[in-house]
Structure 1
């Protein structure tokens, strides 16, 4: 068994608490679904947000999902790069699996599809 990384990202329209929480759950559910994983398969999740998102911690909504109370989650702020995508939440999900890295399915939703159109189309 190996630890593999799964990337994901989603954008929100506004810096509002409920939008941030809902988008975080939507992204996590999509990653879990397309990869056929369960919370107990996940070693940890790193979550970053762009500097224009500060109304809520994305991890809060995930911690409240059934079965997620023991999954380590950490939020931080993305480095500010001029011209980068705004209002974006990014995940790096580290999963214990027997699959190869090439078999991991990354998920980009909303405006975040522009980050990796090659992987967004693969879904």
Structure 2
């Protein structure tokens, strides 16, 4: 069921991007940055987790920036790395409160979006 939710979520995101003909590079950068900062919100008052999640969010923000300014395919790499970050949350207790099955749903979304942006941004 979680995989299906991930597929539907990714399809909705892609549908909106296509329907409104959003510019793919900027949209990918915004999406990558947003999904990284979501984990900061889940850290709550756990200062250790807040620090770790803030560092990863800033790292993905920098990846997005360099994708816009230098290498657009960094969006694809960033989404792949974010899927690995999601997997790390499945394997390691970061002591944050995530919704049930959040990590698996996000992994599916990240992978599908990485494929989508690869197809849209490759030259």
Q: Which has the higher contact order (CA 8 A, sep 6+)?
A: 1
The normalised TM-score by structure 1 is 0.31
More strand by share: 1
The normalised TM-score by structure 2 is 0.31
